[in-house]
Amino acid sequence: MNVEDMLHASVVIDLHNDTIVAHMRQRNASIARTGFFHGPERNGIVTGPYGSMQPPDAALQLDLAGMRSAGLDAGFFAVDVTLAHNSHLAYGLDGLGYLLYDMEEAATEATHVRTLQDLERIGPSGSPALVLHIEHADVTEKSLNVLYALFALGVRSIGLTHNVGSCAADGCWDAREGVGLTVFGERLVREMNRLGMVVDLAHASPGAFYRALEVSTRPVLFSHGNSRALCDTPRNLTDHQLRALSEQGGVIGVSFVPAFVDSEAPDLEKLLAHFDHIVEVAGIEHVGLGSDFDGGGTLLPDVAALEDLVAGLWDRGYSGTDLRRILGENALRILRDNLPAGRASAP
């Protein structure tokens, strides 16, 4: 098998990256144009009081040119608003506005995925596609009206929490026994289902995870995480959770974060072992890619190293059909099962 040909002939979708915030904190680096910087005139909330959180010389792992070169057709571009304290919505809008401005200013040929019709443009011959995602439900300021406004802006996925609790759910770091979703959290999930937004359970507590599976009428994501049987961290899923996710029709994006792969000596072989275990437990139809590029997913140095991952899976006996499912077909199904109908978006 020619790995490069496989990547460029398949639909390849990454279910999570933190590229927006990482680029903003790197001197407002452009996501659309490699090596271009917008400069201080684009400084905002993300690059203001919270900018010091990003090391000044951290290597960036993903941009649109890198996506094209590597054969990555679509990505969930996230803004994590957890650290914004009392400015969650403004922080989220600052990040999303930066990406949208960057794309328009560069006249970038890219698809902003909003509708089912937009999915027709995702593929090996298409331009890069972006799904806008927010981590942490406090971005809604506990208002379904704000959720609707985010939907109108083009946000198509929200993570209920991010390690610590939100207005919707407990996070995996502060999980309380027997606690599921909040009253608002249940309303939020139902309204996301109605509008056509993907519910993401990455970072959620076990109680919130299981309750969301019961409440959601559409398949959910666990966008980036791995097997807890292989690496015992609260960010990973137990086998029982993996089976429950599978039964609900959901998909887990396997993450490249070293701490989610192995607590002592993470490497590519151990990452591949997570694919093996999750496929065995949840089934091949429920596994995808959740790199966490630009947000800690450093086990692969950058998007170009997807070739190494695919070669490793092939060597472990995965067929071409299996690889196409993992690379993007399973993620595409989740989008089809959630997004609203409507006319395709302009580039």
- Chain-centre distance for alpha carbon 107: 24
* CA distances from residue 127 to 16, 67, 78, 340 in whole angstroms, order as listed: 18, 9, 19, 21
pLDDT band at 53 (very low <50, low <70, confident <90, very high): very low
Q: Which domains does the chain have, with CATH numbers?
A: 3-338 (3.20.20.140)
Question: How far apart, in whole angstroms, are the C-alpha atoms of residue 310 and residue 336?
Answer: 24
Which pLDDT does position 51 carry in this prediction?
Answer: 53
pTM for this model (two decimals): 0.96
Q: Which of 15-24, 102-111, 184-193, 241-250 has the lowest mean pLDDT?
A: 102-111
Which pLDDT does position 109 carry in this prediction?
Answer: 87
User: pLDDT at residue 347 above 50?
Assistant: no
Q: Which of 172-186, 209-223, 236-250 has the lowest mean pLDDT?
A: 172-186
- Minimal CA–CA distance to 133: which of 187, 80, 67? 80
> Which residue in this structure is represented by tokens 């680029």?
23
Which pLDDT does position 52 carry in this prediction?
Answer: 47
Question: How far apart, in whole angstroms, are the C-alpha atoms of residue 136 and residue 183?
Answer: 16
Quick one: tokens of 238?
Answer: 């137990």
Q: What is the mean pLDDT of residues 81-96?
A: 93
User: pLDDT at residue 162 above 60?
Assistant: yes
